[in-house]
Structure 1
């Protein structure tokens, strides 16, 4: 599903963001990507969505080498990948339903199909009764659920969650993670970059830990840090 083979990323100013990173994420996995700020997590996510290209190595998504994709093929790749951000990134002048529908309108789907998918996805995230309200009328947790709905309404094969609980209190953070687990159980691969050690330690999912552009730990039932692992 997601494959990194000896991937390095060096920016024009000489900054080494990734240094020979290799890992694979299989279809249907739920994986935490952890590490301090500047460790390379965001670069990994941008390489998956083909916002950037590796300096060396190969990134394969669903068997396709992203470097070899043409300009016309890149949008098709991105339609297979849902992305959730820390700051929600909702369109303030659109309602909840319109925000979710926007992801389908760019695909030029029939309006009836868009309406059907939006309704079922809002039901999935528990916001069926909020379809007509605007983002500013929602709590932070509700806004993040709209963001997740927008990310999955097109039935992506992969969902990337970049610090999805970073702006939320513990209660709403757990609601979001449980929702991501539900989406994962429906068959979507989930890769979640996070600093939330409590959630990572509690769930005991696979953990890929990064530091200074390298993968320093990859554990099937991992924790946020080695110290937490040793205390379990």
Structure 2
């Protein structure tokens, strides 16, 4: 455009492997060896490779990017530590948002209501049983070979085989269209840093979380020697089927 008010827009970024990002993160997160620890109770200087603490880098939706356990990368942090994630939600650092999937597939309920005619009278059942018996008896007569009684030399032995039809499959394997609701969690950027102590029976878990400047990432340091899984179950993102009242 030739207008003097035109502005050229561009996006600048950098791409790196997870290994490079991890190495830089661990190096920056470690306190130097000459740190003044005279007024500090506990382990000092702190390093993320210590067995006493667990360090995480998570994004603004609570998914783990960096952890000492490589299998945690890509997982939702609430599934790893429900106590800390529950506390962050209560403190307002994360808020829960409900999302809906209107093109989901759900397992058919085995106790779903059927549109078939109910058995209003026992005669319906008796008539159905009699009809089934007669049809199978006629089919038996059509398929039975009476010549076999006199000419058995024309027959060969055959192994019995069994086949499972689709009607005998588990009803839970059948999927049907449905609407589902699943939770999502969003970071509140107005809270730059926070810390707390979680009481878990016989122990207390301390943690501190801080926003990494100029990014949508958070650094989270958690005390690792206190298990709170019995008091705080994991927070999952499993979808739930939406039931409509018609």
TM-score, normalised with respect to structure 1? 0.23
Q: Which has the larger radius of gyration?
A: 2
Higher helix proportion: 1
Query: What TM-score do the two structures reach when normalised by structure 2?
Result: 0.22
